[in-house]
């Protein structure tokens, strides 16, 4: 094989690997958008980009917020500079990081073996929405669909 073909092959693999954010698992934790519980502020900012605001709630609690033109995109709660909880709002998300947005993304991007349950929860005053709950080790990932069951409304990683 020629050197240029190998370089092209490596480049294509890199592009394909980066083209879709996957919900991944390690042996003990879940990840969404490449971010896992325990990440530091620096690791989150390296992935998400510059935050809209960073607010120290107390000596050891900090909130990193990303807001777009349509509203809140994501919020990260850190305790002792380690991610404790993360929330994404794909329905209004306009960040540079590509994240799952539709129900089909759940079916294709998440390992079904970690699905704990799908529950109906109250949403939008009168509607019931599907809430997918995934568990791995001590971590929990919840994906709430909109009332039509088509779009991801909120993602919470704890």
In this structure, of 1-15, 86-100, 137-151, the range with the lowest mean pLDDT score is: 1-15
pLDDT in tens, 35-62: 999 999 999 999 999 999 999 988 899 9
pTM of the full predicted structure? 0.77
What pLDDT was estimated at residue 8? 36
Token pair 């094989």 is found at 1
* 3-state secondary structure at position 99: coil
From residue 61, alpha-carbon distances to 15, 25, 48, 85 in Å are 36, 26, 19, 11
């Amino acid at each position: 094989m020629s050197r240029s073909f190998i370089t092209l092959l490596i480049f294509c693999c890199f592009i394909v690997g980066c083209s879709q954010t996957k919900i991944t698992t390690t042996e003990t934790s879940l990840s969404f958008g490449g971010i896992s519980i325990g990440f530091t502020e620096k690791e989150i900012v390296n992935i998400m980009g510059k935050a809209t605001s960073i607010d120290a709630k107390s000596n050891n609690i900090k909130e990193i917020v990303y807001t777009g033109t349509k509203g809140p995109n994501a919020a990260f709660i850190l305790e002792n500079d380690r991610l404790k909880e993360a929330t994404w709002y794909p329905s209004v998300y306009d960040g540079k990081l590509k994240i799952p947005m539709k129900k089909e993304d759940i079916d294709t991007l998440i390992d079904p073996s970690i699905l704990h349950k799908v529950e109906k929860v109250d949403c939008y005053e009168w509607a019931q929405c599907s809430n997918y709950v995934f568990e791995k080790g001590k971590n929990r990932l919840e994906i709430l669909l909109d009332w039509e069951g088509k779009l991801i409304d909120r993602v919470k990683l704890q």
